[in-house]
Structure 1
């Protein structure tokens, strides 16, 4: 399986970077091909331009400004996202990745009759999110309703692909996580991806 592994964290020595390394090692050990897209290291511009927005309903939609990322997404069988949750949401660079790369003609097409969109990422068979939160589990799930999971599963996964395996592994209360808890989480990530 060819996996696009997207890392969205500005610090190369972050825990997110450790999660991405662990994921990559586990996948490659199992024989998968991993394409690491480090959004910060590759200086991905998350800003949807005026021209891109004005042409959003053009057919075909022009994705030339993000052609490399689009090609990498289209050639993948699976997508694994590694990111921290900030303010109960995606880092801005990851949101911009969705805005610019998960574009019409790539991730979906507009239904000519209006309303629903038609999924186009039929090549993607799995979508995993490996994430951390600064808040405890109960705040994320009970108070906030786990918004990132809802957006990924009900929005991006369901609207852009059909019949994909979705999984989200989160380390909650990251700001107070001990080294031992971090190691346990890395091992959890390793085991989950070794089973892919």
Structure 2
């Protein structure tokens, strides 16, 4: 399989970078190919422009501002997102990736009668998120209702690709995680990816 791995962290030496490196190595070890899209490293502009928003319902939608990334997404069989959760949400640059790249004519089509959207990312068969949170698991899951997982699974993956294999793997309480816990988390990711 060919994977687009999207990394969203501003620091080159971050744990998210280590996760992306470990995931890439595990995928390549199993014969998969990986296209790493480092949003910060590639200076991705997350801001939906006025022109893009005004043309949101145009057919065809003008995605010329992100054509290169759209081509990379369309060439992939699987999508893996690597990012920290800040304030129980995506980093702004990753939200901008969804706003600008998961656009009409690319990730979905508007139904002619209005209302519903029709998935277009039929090439994406696997959609995973490898993430960290600063809060303990019970705060994220019980108190907050696991908002990032819910948004990704119900609000993005399900609306843009049918019959997609969805999974999140999270390291909770990241700010207090020991080196041993981080190493164990990387091993957990490698083990999960080995089954792809």
Give the TM-score normalised by structure 1.
1.00
CA distance in 2: counterparts of 1:73 and 1:164, whole angstroms: 15
Secondary structure of 1:5's counterpart equals: strand
Counterpart secondary structure, 2:71? helix
C-alpha separation between the residues in 1 aligned to 2:99 and 2:192? 28
Q: How far has the Cα of 1:22 moved from its partner? A: 0.2
| Superposition deviation, residue 98 in structure 1 | 0.3
Matched, 1:116 2:116: yes
What is the aligned length? 196
Counterparts of 1:115 and 1:141 in 2: how far apart (Å)?
31
Report the secondary structure of 1:22's partner residue. Answer: helix
Paired with 2:109 and 2:86, the residues of 1 have a C-alpha distance of 30
Q: Does the alignment pair 1:68 with 2:68? A: yes
1:195 aligns to what?
195
Q: Kindly state the Cα deviation for residue 76 of structure 1 after the two structures are TM-superposed.
A: 0.2
Q: List structure 1 runs of 4+ shifted beyond 2 angstroms.
A: none
Q: Aligned ranges for residues 74-93 of structure 1 at < 5 Å?
A: 74-93=74-93
Q: 1:144 Cα deviation (Å)?
A: 0.4
The reply on whether 1:148 has 2:148 as its aligned counterpart is: yes
Structure 1 equivalent of residue 59 of structure 2? 59
* TM-score, length-scaled by structure 2: 1.00
CA distance in 2, matches of 1:90, 1:14: 16
- The residue matched to 2:3 in structure 1 has which SS? strand
Residue of structure 2 equivalent to 1:40: 40
TM-align CA RMSD = 0.4
